[in-house]
Structure 1
Amino acid sequence: MSSVTYTSRNGIAEIAIDRADKYNIINHDVVRELNAAWHRFNASDDRVAILTGTGERAFTAGADLRDIPHDFWRAVPGVGVPVTKPVIAVTAGLVVGGGLVLVQMADLAVAADNTVLSYPEAKVGYSGGLISSLAARIPHKIAMELLVVGGSISAQRAYEAGLVNRVVPLGQQLAVARELAAQIAANAPLVVGMLKDYVGQVLPKGPSEAAAIARARVEAVNSAEDYHEGIAAFIEKRTPQFAGR
């Protein structure tokens, strides 16, 4: 059974963490399937993606602490996968830990009014550090209160801090996100892609984010067709035929 679903319509991909019975917590399957979904999105004709979680209780309650996916960075768009098209996060209920990282890395966000965002890892004794980039997206002291105090903020507070674009009544969040996505999908994709790229260059990257991006790129090179061709050619004592993929 899949933990992440991917649907496509009218140039809009909808990617959902589908573990509503478990508050959409993030385990190794979710990480692997989100990573695959971002690759699928990149390769598709879809022009914008909506990232959400099923149900109304949680976008995601964060990592599965009984089996922590320490490679969570692989699931994060723009970190584990260099996503070149806009991503809209759509939240309801709990947005915890890695869920907050996913929201911060999205280009836009729509929150149901029951959304509560928190980063309790300082209380748990675990963190991958990707959250540090939050301070590049919202005021420093608001970010630090979330990170080192380990408290929470409401959807309205997140809106006031600039972390989300819309706060809407519960049940309307996906419809509003689809309206935004449709507007983006109707725009010139080369312009949209260029602006997303340039904005990504303007935003500072924390140490964990930069390290994860570098690791993802190295792994992509060392698992590519050219890698296997190069090794095979060396063993077979022939000239390699590289294809650039």
Structure 2
Amino acid sequence: MTDGLQIEKRGRVTIFTLNRPDKMNAIDTALALALQEGFAAFDADDDQRVAILTGAGDKAFTAGADLTDFPELWRCLPGLGITTMKPVICAIDGLCIGGGIVLAALSDLCVASTRSKFVYPEGKVGVTGGYIATLAARLPHKMAMEIMLLGRAVSADRAFQMGLVNEVTEPGEHLEAALAMASEMAVMAPFVLRTLKKSVVSDMLTSSPAEHMGRTMRDLDRVDSSEDKQEGLAALRDKRKAEFRGR
């Protein structure tokens, strides 16, 4: 775990707070790994029903990937490294840049305060991971392209019109609004919510090439970190028959 991530449980709701305000909550390697591990623990806990992802401070939800310590971003993206079928809500206050927009798009619901701004600057800096293309499966075509190609700052109200945001709040009230949504879902039938989410994510939405790549990286990472791999290498070294356990 890292100091860059705070995890708090409120009843059946788990709140994940990106906690690098001095870096505009940019996601570095340690934070990406911590999010992946934290969400895995959340998913395994039957008492926890809904997750909220938010950022510390009022300057930024996140500046996206930390360019000084570029992470494997797939690790902390819902549907890729984060595999839970429980509902995930983004609660945004301040700037939401680059990979932050991908987080918002891949989450199930999104709340943003009026001072939030959504900016995708990669066309201006000459780099992209390709994950932003997922917007075209979640927003009307030309609205997705407006964010991706123009690189303009999009207000919370405009993001609401586009369908990227579900609710716009006054500054500082974004988390309470997200908690209200989470509280509604936390008392519903979790099996039904998981089934509905799985139907949409697995069968209704088109995945971008980068998402396919991210899922492949996730699956290969599972093999690479498995006990079976260690057992296989040990058996080869010891010249004996391996005893695999499927984990």
What TM-score range do you get, normalising by the shorter chain? Answer: over 0.9
How far off its partner does 1:157 sit? 0.9
CA distance in structure 2 between the partners assigned to 1:68 and 1:131 by the alignment? 20
> What residue in structure 1 maps to residue 83 of structure 2?
82
CA distance in structure 2 between the partners assigned to 1:78 and 1:237 by the alignment? 40
CA distance in structure 2 between the partners assigned to 1:174 and 1:139 by the alignment? 27
Unpaired runs of 5+ residues, structure 1, are: none
CA distance in structure 1 between the partners assigned to 2:120 and 2:168 by the alignment? 20
Does the 8 Å CA contact 1:104/1:137 hold for their aligned counterparts? yes
Does the 8 Å CA contact 1:31/1:69 hold for their aligned counterparts? no
Aligned length: 244
Show CA shifts across 1:77-115 (max 9, x none): 211232221110000110000110110110000111111
Kindly report which structure 2 residues correspond to 1:85-100, keeping only aligned pairs within 5 A, or say none. 85-100=86-101
CA distance in structure 2 between the partners assigned to 1:166 and 1:140 by the alignment? 21
> What residue in structure 1 maps to residue 125 of structure 2?
124
Does the 8 Å CA contact 1:38/1:77 hold for their aligned counterparts? no
Show CA shifts across 1:154-184 (max 9, x none): 1111111111111011121111111111111
SS of equivalent to 1:240 = coil
**Once structures 1 and 2 are overlaid, which stretch shifts more, 81-90 or 69-78?**
69-78
**Once structures 1 and 2 are overlaid, which stretch shifts more, 85-94 or 227-236?**
227-236
CA distance in structure 2 between the partners assigned to 1:228 and 1:47 by the alignment? 34
Kindly report which structure 2 residues correspond to 1:77-226, keeping only aligned pairs within 5 A, or say none. 77-201=78-202, 202-226=204-228
Given the two structures, how large is their TM-score scaled by the length of structure 2? Answer: 0.93
SS of equivalent to 1:226 = helix
CA distance in structure 1 between the partners assigned to 2:196 and 2:235 by the alignment? 41
CA distance in structure 1 between the partners assigned to 2:214 and 2:23 by the alignment? 27
SS of equivalent to 1:82 = coil
**Once structures 1 and 2 are overlaid, which stretch shifts more, 50-59 or 30-39?**
30-39
> What residue in structure 2 maps to residue 227 of structure 1?
229
Unpaired runs of 5+ residues, structure 2, are: none
Task: Give RMSD over aligned pairs.
Answer: 1.5
CA distance in structure 2 between the partners assigned to 1:10 and 1:70 by the alignment? 31
SS of equivalent to 2:127 = coil
**Once structures 1 and 2 are overlaid, which stretch shifts more, 103-112 or 32-41?**
32-41
Alignment partner of 1:48 out of 47, 50, 59 = 50
How far off its partner does 1:134 sit? 0.6
Does the 8 Å CA contact 2:28/2:71 hold for their aligned counterparts? no
CA distance in structure 1 between the partners assigned to 2:104 and 2:119 by the alignment? 11
**What residue identity is the alignment partner of 1:165?**
N
Alignment partner of 2:65 out of 55, 60, 63 = 63
**What residue identity is the alignment partner of 1:28?**
T
Does the 8 Å CA contact 2:27/2:71 hold for their aligned counterparts? no
CA distance in structure 1 between the partners assigned to 2:184 and 2:97 by the alignment? 29
How far off its partner does 1:41 sit? 1.6
CA distance in structure 1 between the partners assigned to 2:66 and 2:80 by the alignment? 20
> What residue in structure 1 maps to residue 21 of structure 2?
20
How far off its partner does 1:58 sit? 0.7
How far off its partner does 1:153 sit? 1.0
How far off its partner does 1:68 sit? 4.6
Does the 8 Å CA contact 2:27/2:62 hold for their aligned counterparts? yes
How far off its partner does 1:234 sit? 3.4
CA distance in structure 2 between the partners assigned to 1:110 and 1:90 by the alignment? 5
Show CA shifts across 1:17-48 (max 9, x none): 00122211222222222222222222223111
CA distance in structure 1 between the partners assigned to 2:64 and 2:82 by the alignment? 20
Given the two structures, how large is their TM-score scaled by the length of structure 1? Answer: 0.94
**Once structures 1 and 2 are overlaid, which stretch shifts more, 15-24 or 90-99?**
15-24
